[in-house]
Structures are given as C-alpha cells and as structure tokens.
Amino acid sequence: MRSASTTIIASSLITLLWVASANAQARPDARALTCEQAKQLVDSRGGVVLTTGPRTYERFVSNIRYCLHNEVLRREWAKTKDNNSCQIGYRCSPRTRQNQ
C-alpha cells in the first residue's frame, strides 16, 4: 500500500515537472532572437506569445485576421538580441472612438 502511494506521488511530480518544462519551451524569448528571427516567427505563426522580460510576455500578431472583430492593430516593438526596439509585429487592441 505504501509503495503504491509513493509511486503515485512520484508519477504526479514527474508529470508536473514535465508539463512545466513544456510550457517554458512553448514561449520563445524575444530577447534571445534577432530582430529578423522574431519578425519571421510572428509572420510564420500569425500569432505568437513571446517572453519580453524576466516576468513579462506579449502576444504579437502578423495581421488583423488574428484579432477579434472589435479590435484594431497597433504596432508593437520588443527588445531583441540585436535591437532594443524592433517592430516585430502588431498587438490587437480594443476598438475605441479614437482609433476606429
């Protein structure tokens, strides 16, 4: 009985660690990419979430198709390996009277 409980706990911990590492790999870090690599990544995926800082991330899109019907595109810049202000794509922003 005790070994079954230990096995279940160990399996749960291994699964948790595996999921955590998979999630970390799923979000590329813009700071580790060149400006061109980051632009190509956004263009190829259409929409991608990139790490932008130690505890920050942002969703970048390549065009309006990746936004909701009540959103507009806004240019978005990020720090990359070779450029402190690289315009790698756009951000979907809520539509307001000022940006219609």
> Residues 90, 76: contact at Cβ < 8 Å?
yes
**Which residues lie below 8 Å from residue 78, measured CB to CB, with a gap of 6+?**
30, 38, 50, 52, 58, 60, 86, 88
Q: Give the CB-side neighbour count of residue 85, counting CA atoms within 13 A.
A: 1
Residue 27 pLDDT level (bands cut at 50, 70, 90): very high
pLDDT, tens digit (0-9, with 9 covering 90-100), for 44-99: 999 999 999 999 999 999 999 999 999 999 999 999 999 999 999 999 999 988 77
pLDDT, tens digit (0-9, with 9 covering 90-100), for 40-52: 999 999 999 999 9
Token pair in block for residue 19: 């999921």
pTM above 0.75, yes or no: no
> Residues 38, 50: contact at Cβ < 8 Å?
yes
